[in-house]
Structure 1
């Protein structure tokens, strides 16, 4: 019988696990250790906060299908008495664009997504031009558009809703930083904090996001997850883009509406992508060299842009295959990992929380088999590669 679960990290992943654990079994003692209860540097609060089903692996599609179901019903799921949280979910859709070079992958991904029930429309160039007349389609062949189930929301609101509901269900949140982990053979015994607290545990969950590698090292595990900085820019423009979705350009640049302005960003080009760069800095070079030229080319009305605000957040980047690592490590029988979402954590948080809770309580995944995301694939060198990393 599992009685004490200690979760390191109280962001969307850790709080989702706490919520599903306490919802399923009120006898489980759940402690969440979060070093920054303001979430000022949490990826959950600093991301572009969006959800899609347009992935290239079946599990990612299925996890996000549950994610949208969860977000749509969040008012009821996370209600505390008459207080129902709102995350301002806007199902504006994703629009993936492809040139001739990317068309075959686009078609292959579309076939997978629709076979699993995702409502994604394949749109040849003429259809793109008709639906989005503000788009420059000269070099495009096709696109795929999320008719429903894709869009954006208040990521900070989601984290707060999960945290407050977990606390209402009896989970204990502790504002502290983990200093060390005591391990005896194949089991973790205790978690010690820099504040001098000691927590006994039957199960330790590493949900520390970009800092998960540090916790894994304390346990004696090499976790291939690193903090990779990504900068987001809020820009103003006189552009009037009717029915604008979240657009993914073939260059990797993305943008979406944010009220009367737009959010945009891009993954770095192939080359150096250093770890643990300071969040206080913003990579304005990527905006000048990559983002602005791509935006101006794809949407001529974006010729006139002005940065209103910019910030940086961390991706918990899995360098092995850019997919999450979820489950026990074979060398530590009571340590569960839930890391390496590489930008997909907010939308895959509900499915991860449900799955990890099942694994802890029942010893197996019940509703959706996440075992393909287990640590074994890393140890055996069997990557489950996600093509659609943004």
Structure 2
């Protein structure tokens, strides 16, 4: 049942109340320079099909662009010190962070060289990534089959997976306590002013016209639909990503790092089970409501890749699987952030292409800073602004999974 907003005007209207929408809402209310009103409009408060609900809750420092490393470094620090960042409220629980790291494996000299260059960038940012020869990988993780591997990158500091659901729940709860209004409704249209320079109102499915000072697009895989209401083109589309939970007949006697295999399959420890994931072989845009699984993918692609890389996993039992959507940025698979260059009060938090959860603390903080003051006080996120979309100039990031 849809809900009507309590007021007819808000300083900020956030379209989408999942991880990024909740992050922006919380950081706005925690920003001393902001004292306005915030409305969050969420079309499905159960979040059944939201990208947030299908995330693997991973965190890594291993990017090739320094700004992406720094974004995740803040994210890791935020997770480890969650209660402090939330004002020391004793109700805030500690977040579990399993730092078993990422392991990128290279099976050719070109990718090995890329990994070495990436490690140098990460080291300059203070990340603990190590570039490893095959013998070093084998010594640390003897369960891998490395016959076709020539090098790898690994980092045991602030990389792994964490309790993203608790982070999300407390952002929503604390934002509400500080006055953010969350409603179950859908934005179906937007109205721009006569000059076309501002969105001055949004129209809800229930009929209300809501005035706004700023609109934040936090619509995940549906971001292009939201942008289209403001007559803005956004190169973001939903693409399927698969997750599989399996049990090994003979478990490993140590944690399995999140291993990025040359096959395109990645795998990691997940408590007493293991998790694997991959894109489909035919990786194209899908309908916004298409979560139909290709059940042959496990047998044809995922299991063979797992058994090849870890022979001990030849005997497995698949326990669960699901399909989620990436909000896939077709230009460069990196976030699109900040204001539109012509419609200045339309703010993007879109196109994360699988990086949204780990980047949500830095992005929420940054967007709150921009909305409150028109500038970034912490990390400079301008490299991710929409201007590059207009110029068709991709932001280069070589470490995209």
- How big is each residue's C-alpha offset from its partner over 1:81-134, in whole Å with a ceiling of 9 and x where there is no partner? 431134422112111111124211111111111111111112111110010011
Match of 1:16 in 2: 23
Map 1:158-173; keep pairs closer than 5 Å: 158-173=167-182
Match of 2:272 in 1: 260
Is the 8 Å Cα contact of residues 85 and 161 (structure 1) preserved in structure 2? no
Select which of 63, 86, 93 maps to 2:101: 93
- How big is each residue's C-alpha offset from its partner over 1:121-158, in whole Å with a ceiling of 9 and x where there is no partner? 12111110010011111111111111211010222222
- How big is each residue's C-alpha offset from its partner over 1:178-234, in whole Å with a ceiling of 9 and x where there is no partner? 111111121101111112233211000101111111110000000000011111111
Give the secondary structure class of the aligned counterpart of 2:395: coil
Match of 1:126 in 2: 135
RMSD: 1.7
The gaps in structure 1 that reach 5 residues or longer are: none
Partner Cα distance (2:94, 2:46) in 1: 19
Give the secondary structure class of the aligned counterpart of 2:97: coil
Partner Cα distance (2:307, 2:352) in 1: 30
Match of 2:382 in 1: 371
Partner Cα distance (2:202, 2:10) in 1: 15
Is the 8 Å Cα contact of residues 80 and 95 (structure 2) preserved in structure 1? no
Give the secondary structure class of the aligned counterpart of 1:333: coil
Partner Cα distance (1:136, 1:229) in 2: 29
Structure 1 residue 355 displacement after superposition: 0.8
Is the 8 Å Cα contact of residues 79 and 85 (structure 1) preserved in structure 2? no
Structure 1 residue 356 displacement after superposition: 0.7
Structure 1 residue 373 displacement after superposition: 0.5
Alpha carbons of structure 1 residues 277 and 212: separation in structure 2 relative to 1, 3 Å = closer
* 1:175 paired to 2:175: no
Select which of 116, 124, 145 maps to 1:107: 116
Match of 2:45 in 1: 37
Match of 2:285 in 1: 274
Give the secondary structure class of the aligned counterpart of 1:276: coil
Partner Cα distance (1:274, 1:215) in 2: 17
Give the secondary structure class of the aligned counterpart of 2:242: strand
Match of 2:4 in 1: none
Is the 8 Å Cα contact of residues 240 and 279 (structure 2) preserved in structure 1? no
Alpha carbons of structure 1 residues 370 and 104: separation in structure 2 relative to 1, 3 Å = same
Partner Cα distance (1:47, 1:17) in 2: 19
Partner Cα distance (2:149, 2:312) in 1: 18
* 1:69 paired to 2:81: no
Match of 1:157 in 2: 166
* 1:200 paired to 2:211: yes
The gaps in structure 2 that reach 5 residues or longer are: 1-8
Match of 1:186 in 2: 197
Q: TM-score, normalised by structure 1?
A: 0.95
After TM superposition, which residue ranges in structure 1, 4 or more long, deviate above 6 angstroms?
none
Is the 8 Å Cα contact of residues 229 and 276 (structure 1) preserved in structure 2? no
- How big is each residue's C-alpha offset from its partner over 1:310-368, in whole Å with a ceiling of 9 and x where there is no partner? 11111000000000000111120111111000000000001101111111111111211
Is the 8 Å Cα contact of residues 121 and 147 (structure 1) preserved in structure 2? no
Match of 2:317 in 1: 306
Partner Cα distance (2:99, 2:152) in 1: 18
Partner Cα distance (2:144, 2:87) in 1: 41
Match of 1:135 in 2: 144
Structure 1 residue 279 displacement after superposition: 4.6
Is the 8 Å Cα contact of residues 238 and 287 (structure 2) preserved in structure 1? yes
Select which of 198, 206, 220 maps to 1:209: 220
Match of 2:65 in 1: 57
Give the secondary structure class of the aligned counterpart of 1:202: strand
Number of matched residues? 388
